[in-house]
Chain A
Amino acid sequence: MRLWPRSGTCVKGDIRDSRDTSRGKCAAGCAERTDARMTSWFNAEWPWYVAGPLIGLFVPALLLIGNKVFGISGNLRHLCSAIVPGRIEFLRYDWKRAGLWNLVFLAGVLLGGFLASHIGTPHAIAISPETTATLSRLGIHDFTGVAPHELFTWHALLTLPGFISVVVGGFLVGFGTQYAGGCTSGHAVSGLANFELPSLIAVLGFFAGGLAATYFILPFVIGRL
C-alpha cells in the first residue's frame, strides 16, 4: 500500500539525464528543470489527492450550473430511448428534456479522453509491483497501454477472453447500472456524498460483484489467453 506517489516519475528521469549531460551549464539545466516541472502535472499521472477532489467538484459544478445531479449511466438509457425505444415503457420518455445536457456532457468525456491522450507522452500505467506480478502469473504480459492489448483490441474481440471482457462485461455494465439506478458516479460519488442508504447498498454490491469477477471469473478468462 503506497499513500504517496513514487518520487521518480519518467519526467524526472528525463531531467536527471539532461542535467548529467549538460554538466557545467547549470543555468540551462535549472531552467529546463522548472520548465519540465511546470508541464509535468499536465502530462503525467495525477496523485490521488489531486484527482479525487477534482472528480468530487463535478457534483457542485453541475448542481450550481443547472440543478443537475452528476451521473453518467443515465446516458445509456437516454441513448437507448433515442435510438430504439420500441414498446418498452422504461425507454419511452422525452429523452431530450431529461438527458440532452448529459449526452452533451458525455460527448465531452470522449473528447476529453482524446485530448488528454494527445497532450503529453504516452506511458505505461505505473501499477504496484504486486499487481504486475499477480497479473503476469495469470497470463497478462503486455503492460504498455491503459488496458491490456491481449484483451482490448478488435482482434482480441474474436477470442473468448476478449469477447467476455468486452461484450459480456459491457452487457453487465448496462444491465447492472440500470437495475441499480446508477454507477460509480451516480451512486458512489453523488449518492454517498448525499448520504443515501440505497447508494451505500449499491456500492457494496459493486465491490461484491467486482471481487467475485476478479477472483473467480478473471483467472479463467485470462487463463485462456
Chain B
Amino acid sequence: MTQTSLPEFQGCGVASGEQPELRPAFLPVYLLLGIAFGFVLTRSEVLSWFRIQEMFRFQSFRMYGIIGSAVATAAVSIALIKRLGLKSISGGPITILKRPMGSGLQYAVGGTIFGLGWALTGACPGPLFALIGNGVSVMFAAVLSALAGTWVYGWLRPRLPH
C-alpha cells in the first residue's frame, strides 16, 4: 500500500513546496477564520439555493459580482504577496504551486459533475456546512452523501481518466 504523497494536496487545502506541518498553536486562528467565513457565507447569501438558481438563470448580477470581486481581491493579494516576497507568520516563504494540467479531462468532467450537484443541492461544500449551522439540518444527509461520493471516487480513481 503506497502512501499518497502529501505534496499532491496543493489546491485542496495545503500549499505545497514544503511538507505540511501540524501546528496546534495555530488551530484557534483557523477556527476563528472559519467562523468569519461561515458568517460571510450567510450574510452574502451565497449559501442560498434561491441565490444559486438566480445565478444559473442569469436573473441577477449579484452572484457574478461576488465571485468576480472575490477573485479580483484574491488575485491582487497573491500578486502583492509574490511581489513583496512576504513570508508566512508560521515561517517559510509563501509558495503556491500550480496544478498539473495533464489531459485536462479531470477538470472538465469532474467540474461538470460537481456543477450538477451544485445546482441540485444549491450549495457547494462550504455552504453545505454553513447551512447545517443555519438550521437546515437535512444538509447533514447531503454531507454524508458527499462523503460517499468522495469514497466512491477514491475507489474508482485508478480506472478513471485524469
A contacts, CB < 8 Å to B: 1-3, 44-46, 48-49, 51-80, 83-84, 86-94, 96-102, 104-117, 125, 127-128, 130-131, 134-135, 143, 145-148, 151-154, 156-157, 162, 164-199, 201-214, 217-218, 221
Contacts and interface: CB of A to CB of B under 8 A. Distances in A.
Contact of B49 (A86, A116, A151, A176): A151
Contacts of A74: 9, 12-14
Given A67-B88, A153-B138, A169-B117, A179 B160 contact: yes
Contact of A112 (B42, B60, B66, B115): B42
Interface of B: 1-4, 6, 9-15, 17-23, 26-27, 29-54, 56-57, 59-63, 65-75, 77-78, 80-81, 86, 88-90, 92, 94-96, 98-101, 104, 106-126, 128-139, 141-155, 157-158, 160
B123 to A, nearest CB: 8
Given A113-B130, A156-B138, A181-B110, A131 B26 contact: no
Contacts of A61: 33
A182 B31 contact: no
Which of A63, A112, A114: most chain B CB closer than 10 A? Answer: A112
A191 B89 CA distance: 22
Contacts of A221: 120
A131 B59 contact: yes
Contact of A177 (B41, B47, B63, B114): B114
